[in-house]
Amino acid sequence: MDSDALLLSRIQFGFTITFHIIFPAITIGLASYLAVLEACWLRTRDTVYRDLYHFWLRIFAVNFGMGVVSGLVMAYQFGTHWSGFSRFAGSITGPLLAYEVLTAFFLEAGFLGVMLFGWSRVGPGLHFMSTVMVALGTLLSATWILASNSWMHTPAGYEIVDGRVVPTDWLAVIFNPSFPYRLVHMGIAAFLATALMVGASGAWHLLRGDRSPAVRKMFAMAMGMLVLVAPLQAVVGDLHGLNTLKHQPAKIAAMEGHWENEPGAGVPLTLFGIPDMENETTRYAVQVPRLGSLILTHSWDGQFAGLKSFPKEDRPNATIVFWTFRVMVGLGLLMIALGAWAAWARLRGKLYHSAALHRFALWMGPAGVIAILAGWYTTEIGRQPWVVYGLMRTADAATPHSTVDVGVTLAVFVVAYLLVFGAGISYVLRLIRIGPTPPAGHAPLSGGPGEPRQPMRPLSGASSTDGAAAPSREGA
**343-365, pLDDT tens digit by residue?**
999 999 999 999 999 999 999 99
> CA 265, 270, 271 angle in degrees (round to 5)?
145
What is the average pLDDT across 265-269? 84
Give pLDDT, residue 438: 57
What is the average pLDDT across 328-346? 95
Give pLDDT, residue 1: 58
Residue 27 has pLDDT above 70, yes or no: yes
Q: pLDDT per residue over 51-63, tens digit each? A: 999 999 999 998 8
- Residue range(s) defining the domain that contains residue 353: 3-236+320-434
The CA distance from 215 to 435, in Å, is 8
Q: pLDDT per residue over 358-403, tens digit each? A: 999 999 999 999 999 999 999 999 999 999 999 999 989 888 888 8
By C-alpha distance, which of 177, 13, 148, 10 is closest to 89?
Answer: 148
> CA 404, 405, 411 angle in degrees (round to 5)?
85
The answer as to whether 476 is a domain residue is: no
Q: CB burial class (10 A; 0-12, 13-18, 19+) of residue 329?
A: middle
The CA distance from 296 to 155, in Å, is 23
The answer as to whether 283 is a domain residue is: no
What is the average pLDDT across 197-226? 93
The answer as to whether 244 is a domain residue is: no
CA 120 to chain centre: 33
Residue 415 has pLDDT above 70, yes or no: yes
The CA distance from 321 to 375, in Å, is 9
CA 5 to chain centre: 28
The CA distance from 288 to 268, in Å, is 5
Q: Structurally, how many domains does the chain consist of?
A: 1
The answer as to whether 439 is a domain residue is: no
What is the average pLDDT across 85-106? 89
The answer as to whether 349 is a domain residue is: yes
By C-alpha distance, which of 222, 190, 185 is closest to 339?
Answer: 222
The CA distance from 106 to 102, in Å, is 6
The answer as to whether 125 is a domain residue is: yes
Give pLDDT, residue 471: 35
Specify the pTM.
0.87
Using DSSP bridges, classify how beta strands 158-161 and 164-167 pair: parallel, antiparallel or unpaired: antiparallel
The answer as to whether 228 is a domain residue is: yes
Q: pLDDT per residue over 131-182, tens digit each? A: 999 999 999 999 999 999 999 999 999 999 988 999 999 999 999 999 999 9
328 three-class SS: helix
The answer as to whether 285 is a domain residue is: no
